[in-house]
Structure 1
Amino acid sequence: MKIIDAHMHDYQNSPYFDQIARDAGHENSEEHLRQVYRQLGIVGGVVMGNGGLSLQEHCYPDFLHYCIGLDSSCFADGRLPDCADLVEAHLQRQNCVGIKLYPGYSYYYVFDKVYDPFYRLAQKYQKPVAIHTGDTSMETAILKYAHPLTLDEAAVRWPKVQFVMCHFGNPWLTDAAEVVAKNPNVAADLSGWAVGRFSLGDFADQYSGYLQQLRTWTGYVGDYSQLMFGTDWPLVNLSDYIDLIRYLIPERAQEQVFFENANRIWALGL
């Protein structure tokens, strides 16, 4: 079975993420990632872009596409209105497949009009907007902005924009499932549900209630064509995480979730 990693990161030359990768049983390098992808049948990945907006900062190997990210640095000193032209330059690139927003780390709800210029660009170029939802990794983040229910209003206001709810809103799974089920223009990726290395048996024993919730609420969506596999690389061991998602998603839907949906939604042409 072919696999697409629909949510990963590219943190090269970072001692912090080098250690995170080692904790997950990996090496934080392009060569290692290419090798492990090949071994596991992962034919491509979508980088959730961090950092600056210059074109030179976003150069990726041929097996990766990327979303241009509007992280908190774009909101400093009123810079956001000046970012639209740079974002458009990225969207004109073939390997830039969308926009990534980071509510929670940025103190704006995703339905705020501050994002309207970027939703217009996404609609113009017919490329999705990925939205961070759920838990955050920084104490300075504010969780209310990252709640998945806020995505409902953006989806209604922008029905021609394809949204991707990152992390399925974890831990607000009930609300996330309803937003995806209600809105045909909202998909979700299943990344960020575990970190590091783990054995599936031990993980299932220790977190049986959590995994039952994940299975219940992804099933509640009722349409597995809206769900995509993702790893949040380099935060988790890739092989372990594939096993986890296979455990949670019915076999009849696995080809969709692991490959077909991401290939369609991100227009990867794989």
Structure 2
Amino acid sequence: MVIDMLVHPMLYGEICTPGDEPDGFGFWSREYGMGHMGPMDWDELQVEMDVCDVQKSVLMPLDVTTACGGHFGTNDQIAMLVAAHPDRLWGFASVDPQVSGAADELERAFTELGAKGLCLHPAKQGFAPDDAVAEPLYELCERYNKPVVFHAGMSWEPGAELSRSNPLAFEHTIATHPNVRFSLTHFGWPWVRETVAMLLKYPNCYTDTSITYIDSPE
């Protein structure tokens, strides 16, 4: 089975609304740096998956409340998309660890929405992986046996400094939480050797191979 482990939901037309409000496509385009891309309907998305022989796509929302005042897809929107296309989609949850009630929201996503894990992008969300505010989230992931996906490697989002996405920036967190599975996105590119070192050293560290962007179905 081919699983696309890092799919951002902002191009899914079913959850797109016009405008520049925190839940609008204009906000997503500006704050995520999507350029001239636009929403697509499910038929088009499904064709892309089929042509690329992808059986499952894993949707990753991102809560950027502190950094930007909104979300790149909410946990409820992800659950709605998965419910509409259960044979092709899995969903993760995201919370902003700097917001009060983040742990409660994550537990709700695990227990009520069926989220498969937690997606965090410290460089964009504005916190360090080993900040104390994130500790309750890691504890929940250990309790519910859910993985954490950290955005690592190249990041084009405005305000997300590349140095904070170096795979080694996550080492202390991964080393001190041996019972939590962590995955570093994009194989940590361009820091591929650092990613390899992390994989060799820490048995609870994983990566995905979404290094390059598929710009067309062909």
| Shorter-chain TM-score range | 0.7 to 0.9
> Aligned partners of 1:238, 1:84: CA distance in 2, in Å?
38
> TM-score when scaled to structure 1?
0.62
Residue type at the aligned position of 2:42: E
**Contact between 1:161 and 1:185, CA under 8 Å: does it hold in 2?**
yes
Is 1:43–2:55 an aligned residue pair?
yes
> Aligned partners of 1:177, 1:237: CA distance in 2, in Å?
29
1:66 corresponds to which of 81, 91, 95:
91
> Aligned partners of 2:76, 2:167: CA distance in 1, in Å?
32
> Aligned partners of 1:139, 1:34: CA distance in 2, in Å?
29
Q: Which segment drifts farther, 52-61 or 5-14?
A: 52-61
> Aligned partners of 1:107, 1:3: CA distance in 2, in Å?
32
SS of the equivalent of 2:55 reads: strand
SS of the equivalent of 1:130 reads: strand
1:20 corresponding residue in structure 2: 37
Deviation at 1:10, TM superposition (A): 1.3
Give the number of equivalent residue pairs.
187
> Any stretches of 5+ residues in structure 1 without a counterpart?
22-26, 197-235, 240-270
Q: Bigger relative contact order, structure 1 or 2, given CA contacts below 8 A and separation 6+? A: 1
In angstroms, what is the RMSD of aligned CA positions? 2.4
Residue type at the aligned position of 1:6: M
Structure showing greater Rg: 1
Identity %: 22
Structure 1 residues 138 and 35: CA distance shift in structure 2, 3 A: closer
Deviation at 1:150, TM superposition (A): 1.8
Residue type at the aligned position of 2:168: L
2:201 corresponds to which of 177, 182, 187:
182
Is 1:32–2:57 an aligned residue pair?
no
Q: Which segment drifts farther, 91-100 or 163-172?
A: 91-100
Q: Which segment drifts farther, 56-65 or 149-158?
A: 56-65
What's the CA shift string for 1:45-104, capped at 9, x where partnerless? 11111327865332212121111123xxx36xx52x311111111112474110001111
What's the CA shift string for 1:128-172, capped at 9, x where partnerless? 000001222134222232111022211111000000101111111
Deviation at 1:190, TM superposition (A): 1.2
In the TM superposition, 1:117-266 aligns within 5 A as 117-191=136-210, 193-195=211-213, 236-239=215-218
> Aligned partners of 1:56, 1:139: CA distance in 2, in Å?
25
SS of the equivalent of 2:116 reads: strand
Residue type at the aligned position of 1:194: T
> Aligned partners of 2:194, 2:54: CA distance in 1, in Å?
30
> Any stretches of 5+ residues in structure 2 without a counterpart?
17-24, 63-70
Residue type at the aligned position of 1:158: H
